[in-house]
Amino acid sequence: MWFDAPSPDRAAGGGHLAVKIMFEEAKAVLAKGFESSLSGQQRVASANVERLRRVHPDKTPGEMIKFLDREYLLAVSVSGLGAGAAAAAGPRVGVAVSLADVLAFTEASVLYVLSVAEVHDLHPEDIERRRLLVMSVMLGDAAAGSVNKAVGRIGPHWAKQIVKSTPMSAINRINAVLGPRFVTKYGAKQGVLVLGKQLPRGIGAAIGGTGNHLIGRGIVSSARKAFGEARAEWADGSQDSAGPSQLP
């Protein structure tokens, strides 16, 4: 299976080989999870925001984004904490659960970015635009140089430009550059967390929860830069509100 933990025989060549195997498996999980999430999470994000608006009819767009921030960070933190705690069951179980957490983190992150886009009335139906939007938010400043080279100087809140006005030829060029960089960068981060979660006596649980939270906070901050302030009212005019909310 693609997320199997390395067996003792595979790790027998030495610690460096075992670490390399874990990092490669983390990258494989990330890549596969990212692709499947891009395909399936757009409709989920749209339905999620529609449901939240029904449940919380008084929330402004800015308040809804704050709510999404909290729910996302809570979900990835708890998931990381649980994955780290699984190390107590032994290394094979601990590594397998930690790799599954890489998948859970990736899916939650894609859903979060697409949900924030929905609140901003941005609907990246084309999968390549969706890919660039999510990768750019998750990579943050590391993506800015490639985006600028491909489409020219972009403004401070560039998500709308990616979704609505960037030519597909430019989108495809940027994705060809950012795709391998995205898998390498996030695969390395998640590989480090997979290793850290294996530490005993509750240390792995603390690393898992804190590590996921910190990476998630980086994505929340990057989303704020990409999308800018939420508008004061919903795009369909269904809600009156005061000025834009400040994101945490």
Which pLDDT does position 9 carry in this prediction?
A: 41
Q: How confident is the model at residue 6 (pLDDT cuts 50, 70, 90)?
A: very low
Show the beta-strand stretches assigned E in 69-172. Answer: none
Which pLDDT does position 12 carry in this prediction?
A: 36
In the chain, where are the structural domains located? 14-227
Question: What confidence tens digit (pLDDT) does each residue in 32-82 have?
Answer: 999 999 989 999 999 999 999 999 999 999 999 999 999 999 999 999 999
Residue (of 90, 113, 87) closest to 101 by Cα position: 87
What's the rounded Cα separation, in Å, for the pair 37 and 231? Answer: 27
Which pLDDT does position 154 carry in this prediction?
A: 62
Which pLDDT does position 138 carry in this prediction?
A: 92
| Helix H or strand E encompassing 106 | helix 91-119
pTM score of the predicted model: 0.84
DSSP 8-state code for residue 235: T
Which pLDDT does position 5 carry in this prediction?
A: 38
What's the rounded Cα separation, in Å, for the pair 83 and 96? Answer: 9
At residue 83's C-alpha, the angle toward residues 190 and 108, to 5°, is 60
pLDDT-above-70 percentage for the chain: 85
Query: How many CB atoms sit inside 10 A of residue 179's CB?
Result: 15
pLDDT of residue 135 exceeding 90, the answer is yes
DSSP 8-state code for residue 7: P
Core vs surface per residue 148-167: b (16+ CB within 10 A) or e: eebbeebeeebbbebbeebe
What's the rounded Cα separation, in Å, for the pair 225 and 32? Answer: 27
What's the rounded Cα separation, in Å, for the pair 16 and 11? Answer: 9
Tokens (6 digits) for 37? 């999430």
SS3 184: helix
Tokens (6 digits) for 24? 């490669």
pLDDT of residue 241 exceeding 80, the answer is no
Residue (of 200, 223, 197) closest to 211 by Cα position: 197
| Helix H or strand E encompassing 219 | helix 203-227
How large is the C-alpha radius of gyration of the chain? Answer: 19
Mean pLDDT value across the chain: 83
Asked if 114 and 45 count as a contact pair (C-beta separation under 8 A), the reply is: yes
Question: What confidence tens digit (pLDDT) does each residue in 138-174 have?
Answer: 988 877 777 777 666 566 678 888 888 888 998 998 8
pLDDT of residue 247 exceeding 80, the answer is no
SS3 157: coil
